Chains A and B, each alone.
Chain A
């Protein structure tokens, strides 16, 4: 009621003017509301600036009564938004996604490995029991699981080709027995070799002898067949190694059908073209002979493998020409000695692998660059740190008296004869003298005296007594036969080129299985390559080969994967003879190669004697005027 008082307070005290309504005379309720309303109006009219001091004068206008009436209020409905407003419409459209895909080719159908009956029952039951993983016994960090992945080859350009290799499972998974039975767990370097071969169209696997080139090649073949990358494969090897490959296929890939090209001409022709054959195995001689019959249309293969591929080191040879003429998609070569005499020999292998044009003559730098891409070589030093050691013993022996007499006489007479030949001397003449002298260092042909035999008998007594097994190598089958008679009490087994092929496998089997068979005598030519004799702990080199690489191959029949104990290698060297001189020259050459190419590379090259070095074994001098001059081999024709 302050407003009422305020307004009432401003009324004139001496009496209202005639046009003023007397508020006091109004009926109470009306007066109250009217005063309140009029006061509000007065305040609004005055701008509400200073309501307490504002004097409101209401003049008599004839409509003052209207000011006292209450306002009328009406309700009206008004639409808030026009229905025709524009609306932004957004729908989440993503369009079609671009994709690319790759379907893997169908693989070769393998017969499933035989299962025990219990497994077969389980396999056909509806509810297969889940096999829980082994319980965790150690909470410590687990060693990382090894995974050897196939890498796309450098030459794979298209994304489909690259994805094909990238998406293959790790070899450890692939080979752990779900789809392919592996009799033994491969070594890590072997997994790498298999993965490398699998991805290569051109490959030279040049692992040192004894590291399992055969097994790596067979397993890579299995994977290619399984992945649908090959259906027809040709494998060429030296004839003595045919049984070895057959045996290795049975061991590592029993499910693969292997057909060996053998028999008469008609049968071989039939085998070459027989449909449905997956793997053909043939020797180099058969290959060369049979391909002529096919003329311009030789059989085609998805993969061709040359074992002991140094056989085609001469690119003009019939063997090399024939090998190159066979149509094939992949070309692999296996050899422990990719270079036997000269680095240029690699060019012939590269030509077979089709990584250089025909007749190309790459220089050393180019050969080396190609080697990085197409050659895989590992040495025992690098990968087989756990292989038992090989202990080499050079046994320098004095010739027996009769031997010495025979030797000295033969050398003096021989040198005299050579000197008398003068300029007509040839490497063949010198070579014949060397061979004659080397044979005498083995035994005296007249008396049969032999310092080497005496030493060998002593060693064999010990070896036989402890049930050990020894391999002996000689250059001559006649020497092996001679030893066979004199070592009869050790029941030696003989394995050389004059033994029929059908008898060779039983000999090796007997040597392995018969505890009384303590000695196997082999010729370098027949026994030096491809055989697995890792159960033998002793190797004797009764005489020396010209080339230490061949000797190493022979030794590695025993010193290879699977060998459980150290291998003792005894090399017999007769003192003051041609053997000692040859050994010295070879040692010097080996050191020279090691210095030039680095340690471990000496086995990569052949260290065989050249013509100059063979001449140098004797101090040959021809008469030259009043004096003499040194005899040298004739310069090779240009």
Chain B
């Protein structure tokens, strides 16, 4: 198993974005193996819509920015393509309409799904969290249940997003994205 992800180990993409006042949205993608060890990281420069764009996109603005513009760019840039994309921001689910891989929202702790409730098509327990899917792609449920079975039952799927946010802040502080 090589750390460069070239082998057929499971590759997870943790995609999130932060909003910086006066600068707009910055997106980051961390590709890890199934144990959370990093393989690749990509991040974007800040994206800020102008007034016209904000008016014309209306409520679709944020899903467009985070899912289509930032998300697609990061997936395309990644040399090590994730097999599954996880996000902690619901608008990023829009990304699923533009890529082939399953996209899931890390929605809440595993116990947010009552133990006596059967998993529905739009929800799945994975690691210590519950996942949700894009309503138009409910087949992602089965794909994840099949492909992500190697993820440990006590894996914390929220934690990598903390790393991505820290890395985004560090990158902004460094001025590398100016």
> Chain A residues in contact with chain B, CB under 8 A?
90, 92, 94, 96-107, 109, 127-133, 135-136, 145, 147, 159, 162-163, 166-170, 173-174, 176, 178-179, 226-228
For the complex of A and B, 3 pairs with smallest distance between CB atoms: A128-B149, A131-B153, A98-B45
Q: Which residues of B contact A130 (CB under 8 A)?
A: 125, 145, 149, 153
CB distance from B47 to the nearest CB of A (A): 6
CB distance from A442 to the nearest CB of B (A): 57
**Residues 51-102 (chain B) with a chain A CB within 8 angstroms:** 52-53, 56-57, 69-70, 73-74, 77-80
Cβ–Cβ < 8 Å partners of A129 in chain B: 149
CA distance A173 to B166 in the complex (A): 18
Which residue of the partner chain, among B3, B69, B78, B167, contacts A104 with CB atoms under 8 Å?
A: B3
Instruction: Give residues 10-24 of B contacting A (CB, 8 Å).
Output: none
A378 CB, min distance to chain B CBs, angstroms = 26
CB-CB under 8 A from B153, the residues of chain A are 130-133
CB contacts (< 8 Å) of B34 on chain A: these are 178
* B residues adjacent to A (C-beta < 8 A): 1-4, 30, 32, 34-45, 47, 52-53, 56-57, 69-70, 73-74, 77-80, 110-111, 115, 125, 127-128, 145-146, 149-150, 152-154, 156, 159-160, 163-164, 166-167, 170-171, 174, 176-177
Q: Evaluate contact between B111 and A136: CB separation under 8 angstroms.
A: yes
Indicate whether A159 sits within 8 Å of B125 (C-beta atoms), given known contacts A99-B45, A101-B40, A130-B149.
no
Interface centre among B2, B37, B80 (most CB of A within 10 A): B37
Given A98-B45, A102-B40, answer yes or no on A159-B78 (Cβ-Cβ < 8 Å): no
Q: Within 8 Å CB of A170, what residues of B?
A: 159
Minimum CB–CB distance for B32 against chain A, Å = 8
CB-based contact B156/A145 at 8 Å? yes
Give the Cβ gap from A144 to chain B, nearest Cβ, in Å: 12
Distance between Cα atoms of A170 and B36 in the complex (Å) = 9
Contacts A102-B40, A159-B171 known; A97 to B79 CB distance under 8 Å? no
Instruction: Check A92–B176 contact: CB distance below 8 A.
Output: no
Bound-complex Cα distance A227 to B45 (A): 27
Are A163 and B56 in touch, CB under 8 angstroms? no
Chain A hits for B4, CB < 8 A? 103-106
Complex contacts, B167 vs chain A, CB 8 Å: 163, 166-167
Indicate whether A163 sits within 8 Å of B170 (C-beta atoms), given known contacts A170-B159, A174-B37: yes
Q: Of the candidates A100, A109, A147, which one forms a contact with B42 in the assembled complex, judged by CB atoms under 8 Å apart?
A: A100
Cβ–Cβ contact B80 & A103, under 8 A: yes
B152 and A101 contacting across the interface, CB-CB below 8 Å: no
Which residues of A lie under 8 Å from residue B160 when comparing CB positions?
169
Q: Which residue of B lies closest to A130 (CB)?
A: B149
Residues of B with C-beta under 8 A to A104: 3-4, 38-41
CB distance from B14 to the nearest CB of A (A): 10
The answer to whether A109 and B1 touch (CB under 8 A), given A99-B45, A167-B163, A173-B36, is: yes
CA–CA, A98 to B45, complex, Å?
5
Complex CA gap A98/B167 in Å reads 16
Q: Are A133 and B43 in contact (CB under 8 A)?
A: no
Q: Are B2 and A106 in contact (CB under 8 A)?
A: yes
Contact, CB under 8 Å: A98 / B177: yes
A101 to B125, CA, bound (A): 31
Tell me the complex Cα distance, A102–B4, Å: 11
Q: A101-B78, A104-B3 are in contact. List 11 more A-B contacts (CB 8 A).
A: A92-B53, A100-B176, A103-B79, A107-B3, A128-B150, A131-B152, A133-B125, A159-B171, A166-B167, A167-B163, A179-B35
Contact B41–A90 (Cβ < 8 Å): no
Q: Which of B57, B79, B110, B163 contacts A101 (CB 8 A)?
A: B79
Question: Which of B45, B125, B164 is A97 in contact with, Cβ under 8 Å?
Answer: B45
Q: Which of B42, B56, B73, B164 contacts A92 (CB 8 A)?
A: B56
Most chain A CB atoms below 10 A, which of B38, B40, B47, B152:
B38
Give the residues in chain A near B154, CB-CB below 8 Å: 133, 176
Query: How near does chain A come to B27, taking the closest CB pair, in angstroms?
Result: 8
A224 → chain B closest CB, angstroms? 12
CB distance from A386 to the nearest CB of B (A): 25
Compute how far the CA of A92 lies from the CA of B41 in the bound complex, rounded to whole angstroms.
28
User: In chain A, what residue has the closest Cβ to B64?
Assistant: A92
Complex-state Cα separation, A13 to B149, whole angstroms? 113
